[in-house]
Each structure stands twice: as structure tokens, then as C-alpha cells.
Amino acid sequence: MRQQINIEPKGLHIDPIAILEDSGHRPTSQRCTLARLLQTRHEGFTAEEVCKALPEIGRATIYRTIKLFLSAGVLCKLALPDGAPKYALSRPDHHHHTVCVKCGTISEFRDGTVERVLRALGSEIPGQIVSHRMELYLICQACLDGTKN
Amino acid sequence: MRQQINIEPKGLHIDPIAILEDSGHRPTSQRCTLARLLQTRHEGFTAEEVCKALPEIGRATIYRTIKLFLSAGVLCKLALPDGAPKYALSRPDHHHHTVCVKCGTISEFRDGTVERVLRALGSEIPGQIVSHRMELYLICQACLDGTKN
DNA sequence: CTCATTGCAAATGGTTTGCATTGGG
DNA sequence: CCCAATGCAAACCATTTGCAATGAG
């Protein structure tokens, strides 16, 4: 558990709107509303969940804004075991995600060992590695403890 | 916490139809045709590609058969960087995949170090790890060499 | 005034489903 | 015969797009 990030370190905090403005986009009310929601949702969310949570914003806008945040690096896109897309706030440092297959909660971890291994693999595998995807699926402690539902 | 590692005493070759019959399904001509195709396609394929390659078989049957093979463990499902699903023949030993982002070719690799790291992570992360997903995206040697298109 | 942004509704693309038909055991 | 398996087309569902309306600078 030592490397698991459960609290939000102030220094790592991301301001989605500031980043948006930096890349030449307007901080519209819809985008701000969405950004505010993102920051409360450490457990991640699907596009559909956002649509339900913010019915006053059009579907198209929500999808467009998620894309915008993705390309700005504010969000990262990850995949459930069945491949369904889910989104979570990005941290500035590189990390990977764990997804609870029972309650869906997303956490993140970073481990230098993983990074080292990935780098080492780069020299063993022909071709030029451009990126990777890695997600751990687990049953989280809360679900194991039965402290949820 | 436990990684699922198949230790298969037999060779590396899988017989999709035999496995199918073992699980109580019929070796129909469509399924055999599909299975034959799979075994020539080490670079993986999308459902749509199979439909094009086998126009004489109905879409529904192809999708149903892929699902069948997935649940029988004959195929594994992996994801392109954008999350689009792609399928590849399963090997009995545990492995991971590389996907060329240029030509789409899928290869596999197996690295004890990766497995060790994953196991080690299991003890550091709260909760019970049930599975994981890991794909390396790269530009394959052939594409780097310009020997393709 | 202009142009980025939005909302709606229609279009899309991949996958699934209902149902009548087929065919192997 | 029987029932699993198939094919077709319609349904489905998440996501995208066309376009006219809006609104911030």
C-alpha cells in the first residue's frame, strides 16, 4: 500500500480550466461545470455517467469536452475488463490505474519497478515503443471488507 | 493477489475446435472455417476484418463465434490505443501483446520479469488483484525499415 | 460583428437480438 | 425429429456529425 495514492497531494493538483485556456480554448460555463465535476470524481466515470449527472449540458458537448480534456492531458482514458472506456483525472506524474471489478472505483499507483521493467523491455523488443497500456483489475479492500453495499 | 498463469504441458498449439467440442459445442462448418482463419492470423484481427474475409458467414455468427472462442480461452481480446477491440489467438503460456500503431500487427512477448513485478505489486496494493491488462504500442521493425508500403 | 461553442437531432459504426429457417446427430 | 446453430434484418447503444442558433470578446 505504500505507493498507493489515496489522498490528493496539493502540489499535484491540476487545474483543467487553466490548461484549457493555455491551449487556446474558452473557459465556457459548460466546461467549467464539467471540470468541477471531474475534480470530485476520483473514482473515475464513464461518459454516460457524466451525461446523467449534468443533464443540463448537451451530450455532444460533454463528449466534445471529454475529448478536449483528453488531448490536453487533463484526463486519461482507461478501459474496463470488457473494454468499455472510463475516464479519470490525470496526475502530472506517470502512473497506472487499478479498477475494482466490483464497485468500479479507480485508484492509481506508481511504481518505479514497473517503469524500469517497461524500459528494459524496450531494449529486448524489436521496434520502437511509443506507449503502453496497463491496468490492474482487483477487488478493492472496501469491497473485500464488505463495507460497501 | 494470484496471477493466472496457465502451465500447459502440451505444445504451444491450440486446437480451437477440440476445445469447442470439449465445452459441448458443435464443430460446424462456419466455426471450423473461422478457426482455420484464426490460426493463420497471428497478427490478430478485428471482428470487421473477419466479416470481410468470410462474407459467406453471417455477421451474427461471426460475432457469436468470436465470443464463443473468447469464453473458451481460444482467443484473447486486446485493445488498440483508442480502445478499439482486436483479437488474437491465445497461447497456453501467459503473455502480453505488442501492437504496431502503424500497421496494426500484433506480436506477443513473455517476460518473467514482468510477471514478477506484477506479483510483487499484488502485495503492495490493497485489495485482491484478479487480472490485468497490458499492451505495448510500438512501431514495428518492418515499419521502421520501411519494408511495408 | 465574428467566430468559437453549443444543442438538437440525425447519422454512424460496431455489436447484439428476435425470429424463422436450416441441418447435423 | 429435435434442438443447436445460422442468417437476416431490425434493434441497440455509445459516440459523432451537420447545422442552425447562441453568446462571449
Which is nearest to B47 in space by CA: B93, B72, B80, B81?
B80
Looking at the DSSP bridge assignments, the partners of residue B10 are none
Look at residue A32 and give its three-state secondary structure. Answer: helix
Interface mutation vs chain B, best among A97, A136, A143, most B CBs within 10 Å: A136
On the question of pLDDT at B102 being above 90, the answer is no
| Residue B13: pLDDT band with limits 50, 70, 90 | low
- How many residues are there in chain B? 149
Q: For A86-110, how does the pLDDT look when each residue is reduced to its tens digit (9 = 90+)?
A: 998 887 676 788 998 888 888 888 8
| Residue B148: pLDDT band with limits 50, 70, 90 | low
**How far, in Å, is the CA of B29 from the C1' of nucleotide C20?**
21
On the question of pLDDT at B96 being above 90, the answer is no
Chain B residues in contact with A101 (beta carbon < 8 A):
130
Instruction: Please give the Cα distance from A63 to B100 (Å, whole number).
Output: 27
Mean local confidence (pLDDT), A30-54 = 91
Residue B67: partners with Cβ closer than 8 Å, 6 or more residues away: none
- More confident of the two residues B31 and B117: B31
Which is nearest to B96 in space by CA: B3, B1, B2, B15?
B3
Q: Which residue has the cell 515503443?
A: A129
On the question of pLDDT at A149 being above 60, the answer is no
Instruction: Please give the Cα distance from A120 to A103 (Å, whole number).
Output: 34
Q: Are strands A128-139 and B85-89 parallel, antiparallel or unpaired?
A: unpaired
Taking the CA of residue A3 and the nearest CA in chain B, the distance in Å comes to: 8
Under DSSP, the state recorded for B45 is B
Look at residue A135 and give its three-state secondary structure. Answer: strand
Q: What is the pTM of this model?
A: 0.81
| Residue A81: pLDDT band with limits 50, 70, 90 | confident
**How far, in Å, is the CA of A64 from the C1' of nucleotide D18?**
15
Which residues interact with strand D by a CB < 7 Å criterion? A 26, 28-29, 46-48, 59-60, 63-64, 67, 85; B 25-26, 28, 30-31, 56-61, 64-65
Interface contact A125-B98, CB threshold 8 A: yes
On the question of pLDDT at B2 being above 50, the answer is no
Mean local confidence (pLDDT), A58-79 = 93
Q: Which residue is nearest to nucleotide D6 (CA to C1')?
A: B61
Nearest to B126 among A4, A81, A137 (CB): A4
% pLDDT > 90, chain B: 42
- More confident of the two residues B122 and A61: A61
Nearest to A83 among B79, B126, B141 (CB): B79
pLDDT of residue A83: 86
Interface of chain B against chain A, CB under 8 Å?
77, 79, 81, 83, 85, 98, 100-101, 109, 111, 113-114, 117-118, 120-121, 124-141, 143-144
| Residue B112: pLDDT band with limits 50, 70, 90 | confident
Read off the C-alpha cell for B55.
Answer: 462474407
On the question of pLDDT at B43 being above 80, the answer is no
Pair A65, A17: CB distance under 8 Å: no
Interface contact A121-B138, CB threshold 8 A: no
Asked if A60 CB < 7 A from strand C, the reply is yes
Q: Which residue has the cell 470481410?
A: B52
pLDDT of residue A148: 58
Residue A2, CB-side half-sphere exposure with 13 Å CA sphere? 6
| Residue B103: pLDDT band with limits 50, 70, 90 | confident
pLDDT of residue A13: 62
Nearest to A132 among B117, B127, B135 (CB): B135
Chain B residues in contact with A139 (beta carbon < 8 A):
127-128, 130
Instruction: Please give the Cα distance from A29 to A56 (Å, whole number).
Output: 11
Which is nearest to A138 in space by CA: B133, B75, B80?
B133
Residue B97's Cβ-count burial label (10 Å; 0-12, 13-18, 19+) is: buried
Q: For A3-16, how does the pLDDT look when each residue is reduced to its tens digit (9 = 90+)?
A: 444 444 444 467 88
Taking the CA of residue B129 and the nearest CA in chain A, the distance in Å comes to: 4
